[in-house]
Amino acid sequence: MLLIGSTGRNSGKTTLAASLIRKWKDEISIIALKITTIEHKNGKCPRGGEGCGICTNVEDNFELIEEINPDKNKDTSLLLSAGADKVYWLKCLNDHLEEGIEYFMSKVSKDALIICESNRLRNVVLPGSFVMIKNICNDSIKKSAGEVIDKADYILENDFTNKIDDFINNIVIEKDKVGIRVRIV
């Protein structure tokens, strides 16, 4: 698993994930996963206001949705249109993240590279590599990022020029008998 986190919204997680998918889609099977963690079932939107309904429409402790439409303007659709074999969205209560990721892992091929967007997942799994994107245009760091930034294998300071494109060239995949490894050089 290549886990991508960020210090804030709109920092480039999906841009990085989609670029990596395009780079490797012809070499290996790729499963993309976007995780949205929810503080409280039927709680208020953590961003304020009415929100988008994500936090209020999870019926169980988690919900796993497969994206099937590459033509929508959503992160999961962008990952599918980039060439991922399958794309999933895991909406999960914070206290049930381990249960949700175990369910996800039981549904996907063990021979695929998983490219995942999440901060909090790093508290539950040890990925092959964990990249934290730091938006240097915004000094604030969301709570979930602050909890795991010290566990990052690499912190990518994104100034929205060409940092992500340059960084992609420093990530390599290696296939062997054990499986797929992601390495940052």
pLDDT digit string (tens) for 44-72? 555 555 555 555 567 789 999 999 988 88
Number of domains in the chain: 1
Give the tokens for residue 98.
Answer: 């381990």
Task: Pick 10 or 160 by higher pLDDT.
Answer: 10
pLDDT tens by residue, 126-175: 999 999 999 887 788 999 999 999 999 999 987 766 667 778 888 888 87
Beta strands in the chain (DSSP E): 2-6, 30-38, 62-67, 86-93, 113-117, 129-135, 154-158, 171-175, 180-184
pLDDT tens by residue, 87-115: 999 999 999 999 999 999 999 988 899 99
CATH number at residue 146: 3.40.50
Domain of 170 in residue numbering reads as: 2-184
User: Is 70 exceeded by the pLDDT of residue 2?
Assistant: yes
* pLDDT score recorded for residue 141: 92
Q: How far apart are CA 178 and CA 62, in angstroms?
A: 31
